[in-house]
């Protein structure tokens, strides 16, 4: 049996697992978060293992990350999401200089070392508030009854973005409901919502300093409206890490697992 390590990222919205053999991704899985983080980890690990045709007992080392990392059963080690996202991004794209990770309940901007190591040079995070996060977009998508994966598309069709002035998710929702009631164009409202997220994120970018190339990870990386608004605000192109940016943190955790195994002389 060759090397098999796992990275398990238990976030507020979803659970992600990457199985890694030291050189390539063997399998990955993503499931919606269960009420208990430990259960999310078990279920997503089982799914990824099935895909790879291995049993969890064959996994030689596992690193947990995400807000539920302490509840990942059998994880030998935990590492913060910041470090895992940076590590995963640098493995996928060694020229990653700035990584924007917009997750379910937080938003992180990470300055990554230029040597391809994935070392974190600096980072900034949203403070105490869901504005500028995936949860904010989720609440808004529900108002329009548009699936999350399609939510940003309307913004690209809009002629202009209607400003959303409320910083609070709950008040912003009320504001959006008012804008709809006033008969405003739905795409323009969506463009305004995407721009509101981009506005929060770009202020975090300015705290760490913008360096190119800029990549995005996390679920919101797939939102074309937010990505376009961010490119407009930052004045740079934002590149995609992979087809599945959601698993970047889990991948980084798997890379940490492989390193740990090597340190123990087992990898």
Partner 1 sequence: MSEYKGFHFKRFDFSKCLDTKIDLIDLINNTVGEALKKQPEKVRWIFDTMVQYIDELNACRDYPEKIVYRHFTFAPEMVYAIEGISFVPEALTFIMPTEYLCALVDEGRAMDMPDHWCGFLGGVLAPLLAGRLPKPKAVLHCNQPCDNSVAQGSVLAESFPDVEIFYLDNPYTDDEGDVQFAMDQLREGFKYLERMLGKKLDLDRFREVMSLSAQAYRLMYEINEYKKAIPCPIPTSVILRATSGAFYGLTGTERLLRWLEKHRDDAKQRYEKGIGGWREEKMRLVWNLSWPVFDYGVYDWMEEAFGAIAVAYHASEPFYQPPDIDYSKASYEELLRALALRNNNHAMGRQGRGHLMTFVNDTLKWCKEFRADAVVFAGHWQCEANWAAAQLTKEKLMEELGIPMLIMTVDQLDPRVVSAEQMVSRLEPFLEMVAEKKAQGG
Interface residues toward partner 1, by CB under 8 A: 67, 70, 78-83, 119-125, 127-128, 207
Q: Shortest CA distance to 98 belongs to which of 243, 237, 195, 245?
A: 237
What is the C-alpha to C-alpha distance for residues 134 and 196, in angstroms, rounded to an integer?
12
Q: Shortest CA distance to 65 belongs to which of 266, 246, 251?
A: 251
Q: Toward partner 1, which CB reaches closer, 131 or 229?
A: 131
Q: Toward partner 1, which CB reaches closer, 24 or 128?
A: 128
**What are the two backbone dihedrals, phi and then psi, of residue 237, each rounded to the nearest 5 degrees?**
-80, 140
Q: Toward partner 1, which CB reaches closer, 115 or 145?
A: 115
3-state secondary structure of 264: coil
**Closest distance to partner 1 from the beta carbon of 144 (Å):** 31
**Closest distance to partner 1 from the beta carbon of 94 (Å):** 17
**Closest distance to partner 1 from the beta carbon of 122 (Å):** 6
Q: Toward partner 1, which CB reaches closer, 120 or 247?
A: 120
Check residue 132 and report its DSSP letter: T
Q: What is the dihedral of CA 208, 214, 218, 221, to 10 degrees?
A: 130
Q: Toward partner 1, which CB reaches closer, 20 or 123?
A: 123
Peptide bond into 73 cis (omega under 30): no
**Closest distance to partner 1 from the beta carbon of 80 (Å):** 4
**Closest distance to partner 1 from the beta carbon of 202 (Å):** 15
């Amino acid at each position: 049996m060759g090397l098999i390590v796992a990275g398990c990222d238990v976030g507020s919205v979803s659970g992600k697992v990457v199985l890694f053999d030291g050189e390539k991704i063997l399998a990955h899985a993503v499931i919606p978060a269960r009420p208990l983080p430990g259960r999310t980890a078990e279920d997503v690990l089982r799914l990824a293992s099935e895909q790879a045709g291995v049993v969890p007992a064959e996994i030689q080392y596992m690193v947990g990350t995400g807000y539920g990392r302490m509840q990942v059963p059998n994880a030998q080690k935990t590492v913060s999401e910041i470090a895992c996202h940076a590590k995963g991004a640098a493995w996928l794209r060694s020229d990653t200089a700035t990584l924007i990770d917009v997750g379910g309940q937080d938003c992180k901007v990470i300055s990554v070392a230029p040597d391809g190591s994935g070392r974190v040079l600096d980072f900034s995070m949203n403070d105490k508030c869901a504005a500028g996060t995936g949860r904010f977009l989720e609440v808004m998508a529900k108002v329009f009854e548009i699936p999350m994966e399609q939510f940003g598309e309307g913004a690209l069709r809009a002629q202009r973005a209607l400003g959303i002035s409320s910083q609070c998710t709950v008040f912003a929702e009320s504001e959006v409901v008012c804008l709809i009631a006033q008969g405003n164009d739905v795409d323009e409202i969506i463009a305004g919502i995407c721009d509101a997220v981009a506005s929060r994120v770009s202020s975090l970018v300015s705290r760490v300093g913008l360096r190119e190339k800029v990549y995005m990870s996390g679920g919101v990386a797939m939102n074309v409206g937010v990505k376009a608004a961010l490119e407009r605000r930052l004045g740079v192109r934002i590149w995609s890490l992979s087809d599945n940016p959601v698993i970047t943190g889990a991948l980084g955790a798997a890379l940490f697992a492989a390193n740990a195994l090597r340190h123990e002389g087992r990898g």
